[in-house]
Chain A
Amino acid sequence: MEGRRPDTQRLLDRLFVAAKAIGRDIAFMEVCGTHTMSAFRCGLHGLLPPNVRLLSGPGCPVCVTAQADIDLMIELADRPRVTLCTYGDMLRVPGARGSLELARSRGADVRVVYSALDALRLAEAEPDREVVFAAVGFETTAPATAALVVEAHRRGLPNLTVLASHKRILPAMNALMQAGEVEVDGFLCPGHVSIVIGAEAYRTFTARYHMPCVVAGFEDWQMILALTHLAEQVCDGRTELENAYPEAVRPQGNPTAVQLLAEVFESADARWRGLGEIAGSALVVRRIYATFDARARFGLVAPVDREPAGCRCGAVISGSCSPEECRLFGTACTPVRPIGPCMVSSEGTCQAWFKYRRRVVTEDVR
């Protein structure tokens, strides 16, 4: 569906009009790493009205994955006869003992896959290897893992498991509001997570916190449209749930995907970087599918979490600190030598900031 683009200038004008009418400073938060990246890539931050800020919340699944889980992935990858399959994003994320990439360089069998089903094909092709799929991501990606488990069960595969680290976004949004540390006037709700969970999923949240919520797509104009809707709500004093991505997001989402998630996963408490323990925020494999749960199969014990000294990823993730306010940013912590996941992940706030906003000044200017 290439071709026509809306007049983003007009949309921005509307945003400016609403912002001016509001007068005071306002902040909207997005909670999706892809929104973080898209906003930086189109230079959106620099185009907003002076009293409007766009904050990045805990939307990068890689960044919020507990270091303990990454250590488990690496530990498994290091075992003989284990093939660890992962999405590319996880490859360089640092755990306590290096990354999956480092493990691969010392001989661990780590394979990048583009689809969860690649792990299935691998397990069938190499029956004497234990194939483990590192399942990271929010509700957009979790159904693929669920499909993998169901299919593996159907085929009776004896050598495939998933190491599930999937997270749910709504419990995190709730936790953010409960913590009360961030002042937010509205949320951009993640468009592709919403394809699965549906626009109505945010109804309770909107009502409970009297919070304008707009489901947003990822094109530049779609983000501007959503921000404009949010600003106009604030201007009018409304606190509504709106869907600015109706071509993809249905009110009830994708029922098949939701059903599949319920079949394979159940909610559990989990620790998020920067937000602590959040009830019901993780998806864990149900006992009936324990055969395909790497935690059960390998009797994994989660190692103790250790935050690197000085790392402020937690605060960055919860939107209460900007990357530049972390003293490690740009000095000890860079994309080449990252300390925390916000700098490693291609959707991490710190990496985006470093790549797209930081100016390297030459001597002349100084």
Chain B
Amino acid sequence: MCLAVPARLVTLDGTEGVVDLHGNRVPVCALLTPEVGVGDWVLVHAGFVMQRIDEQQARATWSVLDEVERIDGVQRESQPTTGIGRIGNRDGGGPAGEGGNHGRPPT
């Protein structure tokens, strides 16, 4: 219900705009975001533009994710995320229904 999807604003006429959602051209109302302009990436919810996506902040988030491991200052090798081979190989997390249970004491 609360889902807002990122899209690119391609036309704007007053408060009536159209966003491109990866091949879907959707009419939107930009009444809530007078500061957006054509070309901006925005978040759209239920036919309304809710906010302009701040690309600089997005990049900042990415750089935080790239930071070195918290412990030991040692950068760990990450496991490649491939396909079928991953099935059943993940340690430390049980299959759905076990582990991290809602309302149950952990095993």
Contact = CB atoms under 8 A, between A and B. Distances in A.
Contacts of B98: 46
A9 B1 contact: no
A192 B4 contact: yes
Interface secondary structure of B, over-half rule? loop
A173 interface: no
Interface in A180-229: 190, 192-193, 195-196, 218, 221, 225
Given A116-B46, A192-B45, A137 B2 contact: yes
Contacts, number: 187
Given A11-B65, A34-B3, A193-B2, A147 B81 contact: no
B2 A232 contact: no
A54 interface: yes
B24 interface: no
In this complex, the interface size class of chain B, counting residues with CB under 8 Å from chain A, is 35 or more
A274 interface: no
A353 B96 CA distance: 10
Contacts of B76: 10, 13
Interface string B43-62: 10111101101110110111
A314 B57 CA distance: 38
Q: Which size bracket describes the interface of A in this complex?
A: 35 or more
Nearest to B32: A257
A6 B62 contact: yes
B32 A46 contact: no
A50 B78 contact: no
Contacts of B34: 256
A260 B45 contact: no
Interface in B30-82: 31-34, 41, 43, 45-48, 50-51, 53-55, 57-58, 60-62, 65, 69-71, 76, 78-79, 81
A257 B83 CA distance: 43
B61 A246 contact: yes
Interface in A224-256: 225, 232, 244-250, 254, 256
A254 B33 contact: yes
B14 interface: no
Given A195-B51, A225-B65, A246-B57, 11 more contacts: A1-B58, A14-B70, A45-B102, A46-B93, A89-B1, A192-B4, A192-B50, A247-B57, A247-B61, A257-B50, A358-B97
6 contacts: A4-B62, A33-B2, A46-B93, A50-B99, A143-B48, A248-B43
Q: Which 4 A/B pairs are nearest by Cβ-Cβ distance? A: A115-B47, A322-B103, A48-B100, A247-B58
